[in-house]
């Protein structure tokens, strides 16, 4: 899928090593982009949580950062309490607008940016989950070799939690 032109990540996709977007239409309950992200994080499938735990165990043996889990934040957190520079789950907040939240995790091997952009779609909302990765070295490329195929399964599966 094409990354939405109105996404804050649009300017960073041209030189990205990896990029993708998945979209889903959901009921419009006047939720913000943060609300959508929080629901995705809180309804992460159990098999994804187990994969993340395995990832953390493997990379910790190589001296890399243990990220934790996407849902490692208070479920009572509100959008208005989330500011750029804050950490929620495994990501740092870059931007938190009503219609888009941009999160990132950066290290010496790669920079990952994630966006949840919501757009009115009739009586519903269209949610675009976009990931953009810039690699810095060969280790980042090796890491993405293993992660990219799984990522293409995880994101659509995780978005299904929005329809519940």
Per-residue pLDDT of the chain (164 residues; tens, 9 = 90+): 688 889 999 988 889 999 999 999 999 999 999 999 988 888 877 777 777 777 667 766 665 554 555 555 556 778 888 999 998 877 899 999 999 999 998 888 889 999 999 999 989 999 999 999 999 999 889 889 988 998 898 898 889 888 75
Using DSSP's 3-state secondary structure scheme, residue 164 falls into: coil
Contact 127, 162 (CB under 8 A): yes
User: Is residue 4 situated within a structural domain?
Assistant: no
Phi/psi class of residue 30: alpha, beta or left (left: φ > 0; alpha: ψ in -120 to 50)?
A: left
d(CA 47, CA 40): 14
User: What is the count of structural domains for the chain?
Assistant: 1
User: Is residue 82 situated within a structural domain?
Assistant: yes
User: Is residue 132 situated within a structural domain?
Assistant: yes
Using DSSP's 3-state secondary structure scheme, residue 73 falls into: coil
d(CA 56, CA 79): 28
User: Is residue 49 situated within a structural domain?
Assistant: yes
CATH code of the domain in which 118 resides: 3.30.530
User: Is residue 1 situated within a structural domain?
Assistant: no
User: Is residue 5 situated within a structural domain?
Assistant: no
For 139, the domain range is 10-163
User: Is residue 102 situated within a structural domain?
Assistant: yes
User: Is residue 2 situated within a structural domain?
Assistant: no
- Three-class SS of 129-140: EEEEEEECCHHH
Q: Tell me the whole-structure pTM to 2 decimals.
A: 0.87
């Amino acid at each position: 899928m094409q990354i939405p032109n109105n996404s804050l990540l649009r300017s960073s996709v041209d030189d990205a090593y990896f990029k993708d977007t998945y979209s889903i239409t959901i009921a419009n309950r006047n939720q913000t982009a943060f609300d959508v992200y929080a629901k995705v994080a809180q309804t992460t499938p159990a098999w994804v949580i187990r994969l993340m735990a395995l990832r953390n165990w493997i990379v910790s043996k190589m001296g890399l950062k243990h990220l934790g889990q996407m849902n490692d934040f208070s479920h009572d957190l509100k959008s208005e309490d989330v500011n750029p520079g804050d950490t929620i789950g495994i990501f740092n907040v870059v931007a938190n607008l009503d219609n888009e939240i941009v999160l990132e995790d950066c290290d010496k091997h790669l920079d990952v940016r994630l966006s949840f952009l919501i757009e009115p779609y009739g009586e519903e909302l269209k949610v675009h989950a976009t990931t953009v990765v810039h690699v810095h070295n060969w280790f980042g490329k090796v890491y993405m070799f293993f992660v990219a195929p799984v990522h293409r399964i995880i994101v659509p599966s995780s978005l299904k939690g929005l329809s519940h």
